[in-house]
Amino acid sequence: MRIGTWLCCILFLFACKKSDPKTETDNNALMLNAIQVNGVNSGYSYSNVSASPVISLKFSTAINKSSIPTGLRLKDPANNDVPIQLEWTNNDKDVAVKPQTSLKSLEEYRLEILQNLQAVNGKYLNPAIQVKLVTAIDSTDKFSRISQEDLLTKVQQQTFKYFWDFGHPVSGLIRERNTSGDIVTSGGSGFGVMAIIVGVERGFITRAEGAARVAKMSDFLLNKTVKVKGAFSHWINGVTGAIQPFSTKDNGADIVETSLLMEGLIAARQYFSGADAVETQLRADINAIWEGIEWNFFTKGGTNQLYWHYSEQYGWDMNLAVSGWNECLITYVLAKASPTHPITKAVYDNGWTRNGSFVNGNSFYGVQLPLGYSYGGPLFLSHYSFLGIDPRDLTDQYTNYFTQNKNHALIHYNHSVQNPNNQPGYSNSVWGLTASDIPNGYTASSPTNDIGVIAPTAAISSMPFTPAESMRALEFYYYVLGDKLWKEYGFADAFSIKDRWFATSHIAIDQGPIIIMIENYRTGLIWDLFMSAPEVKSAMTSLGFSSPKL
């Protein structure tokens, strides 16, 4: 009897399963059997898709074409319908879907195959399907080709607009970024002064216009800007000259930003050497600023190193020593060069070179790096100090500084070519990692902090060191990516092929090295000016440097 009961239960369950309507629908629904995009199958997600893809769909049975308008849609990133054309084969079981117009590059589209899609036998698609399509870089030129010399001039002139057209109307100083309002930056203003010199030499403005603007900036810095021990804060209010805190405790002097400002002002003092009233007063104001900075105070009471920050409210609480190798060589050179408050060589040796322990000497991607971090760190480390300091034939007991900067750039170049992290878009035309905006933030990118974001300033500002590699990158950014990167003030700050992201920002300390280093590559103008300053010559010689210019 127990056997009979068991058999009855089995038969009952079997009967119930056969009549389950959900299972019946699943077994008899219209099915998508296969999908290919341009002849390749990779499931439901495709990258590097061409602008005119062919999406091939194979269904289990013939399609009722009247269901296509509500059952098959191609959507753009804004969720708008993209018109499509269809080519049917295999008795209407297979269809090739093509957009009627070319898709935009580096955008995400999706093909929606919905449950409204019906077969001729009346069955509907189950389940609905979405196919992601990320388009590739459009490699066609976006602008007409011009000579390399004309392109360099064009890039310099467009970038110059950031420092000239967008200079603060009250102080003339340079805004931190294109969204900063009244916040100006001391280091970026130093870069802006050097950019104005280039603008005069290139004929973008007249000498009188350039002198008047730098004089306006110098007057504001000398007579209206709040200083601490003669040094400037990172950020300044461009209307009042008040300190604008960079962070809670960074509300006082920033000796590194001050040195970047003075780098530009000393170059301007050497350039605007005329006898007229404007240039004479400009030089006097710059000298007064220069002589008022108490560089040796920033040894924090006589220690053998410089400290980055001092606040009248928080004192030395930030406690950040300035030590090499990084962007701060200029800080130690100017601190030693001060005509009124110089540091000793012992401060340089202990604080900057760390008594020689900043030496590296290892090879990365087959390139030896004399000094600094493994893989070199962000590329701005080879830019900021060397906007003014001429590294050509500059040597000391540790290295040749042109070799240091060239090899740093080549490590970045080789990192992109070898692309160990498989970052989309990296190539011998897309390379260089530095501090920049990133999607939803900011970071100092480097080969050891590579999140797939490239900043044009990295490769372009390395042009004196890697001219062929940098020119290839510049041409790619302009001609190929120019529809997304080329803006009112030159190249946008950064981009990511991986994230299909292009910054809308411009940042002073990224734009400045572009125009200045292109000029140093072309003529050596800013190098010649800065290195002509007697205080600089004396300081660098006393620190152990050797160069034909010293």
Residue-level pLDDT at 5: 36
Report pLDDT for 28. 72
Low-confidence residues in the chain, pLDDT < 50: 1-26
* pLDDT, averaged across the chain: 94
Predicted confidence at residue 377, as pLDDT, reads: 98
| pLDDT tens readout for residues 34-49 | 999 999 999 999 999 9
CATH number of 28-135: 2.60.40.1220
CB-based contacts of 14: which residues, under 8 Å, 6+ apart? Answer: none
How, if at all, do strands 309-310 and 253-254 pair? antiparallel
Domain 143-166+359-550, classified CATH 1.10.3720.10, yes or no? no
Give the per-residue pLDDT at 71: 96
Predicted local confidence at residue 27, as pLDDT: 59
Q: What is the pTM of this model?
A: 0.91
The pairing of strands 129-135 and 45-49 is parallel
The answer to whether 375 touches 364, Cβ cutoff 8 Å, is: yes
**CA-to-CA distance for 201 and 436, rounded, in angstroms?**
29
- Which ranges in the chain are annotated with CATH 2.60.40.1220? 28-135
Domain with CATH 1.50.10.140 in the chain: 143-166+359-550, 177-355
pLDDT of residue 527: 98
For residues 380 and 256, give the distance between their C-alpha atoms in angstroms, rounded to a whole number. Answer: 14
Domain 177-355 belongs to what topology? Glycosyltransferase (1.50.10)
Tokens of 383: 């830019």
